[in-house]
Amino acid sequence: MHNQLTVTLFKRYFILLAGLTIMAFGVAFSIKASLGTSPISSVPYVISLFSPFTVGTATILMHCVFILLQILILRRKYHLIQLMQLPVAFLFGYLTDFAVWAVRGIQCHTYWQQWIVCLAGIFLVAVGVSLEVKAGVVVLAGEGVVLAICQVLPVKFGYMKVGFDVTLVLTACILSLVFTQSLQGVREGTVAAALLVGLIAKRLGKIWERFPLEEA
């Protein structure tokens, strides 16, 4: 029984690592497409444009803020196990910087090529999200904030997630306009990501359900 639990836990963390890696490459592809990143990556990307921080480092800092917000929102209801989001944030940040470096050679010379790379990025992010959910170990800090708010406010997760994503995009727009005097990181690709990532991840999740982690 103990060995079976160990194997199952190993599977879960392996799936989480795979999901984070694939998601990081999805972010890198969306950046390369230059049609706007996904909502969760829009703020770190814009920050990387006017600061010494890389996209990955800015992602880590943003996730640290999200973890702090969860603690402030939940207070005594906050479970210390959720601090596992911290090492996951660092890992995801470093993976994102690696992915950005790895795809540096990709060139988009036409608008349709940009869309191909953008859609590839959206699909990869969706795969990563679905694997993160499948792993069931720990959620990323961004989702953790939404869940924390839903615990104290009578709002459904889906509606709160949309509101949270809109807030991130608006924040990215404001930062971009103030510090770069132009609108960057938020374009039609951002809208496509907001609409498609969740739908694709949901479909993939149904496929993953056919492969249970626990052995019968």
Per-residue pLDDT of the chain (216 residues; tens, 9 = 90+): 567 777 788 889 999 999 999 999 999 999 999 999 989 899 999 999 999 999 999 999 999 999 999 999 998 888 888 889 999 999 999 999 999 999 999 989 999 999 999 999 999 999 999 999 898 888 889 888 998 999 888 888 878 888 899 999 999 999 999 999 999 989 999 999 988 988 898 899 889 888 887 654
Sequence ranges of the domains in the chain: 2-208
Q: What is the sign of the dihedral through the CA atoms of 133, 32, 169 and 63?
A: positive
Q: Distance between CA atoms of 26 and 4, rounded to whole angstroms? A: 33
Question: Judging by beta carbons within 10 Å of its beta carbon (0-12, 13-18, 19+), is residue 118 exposed, middle or buried?
Answer: buried
> Could you say which DSSP state residue 110 is in?
S
Nearest to 93 by CA among 168, 18, 24: 24
pTM, 2 dp: 0.90
CA–CA separation, 58 and 66 (whole Å)? 12
Nearest to 97 by CA among 61, 144, 50: 61
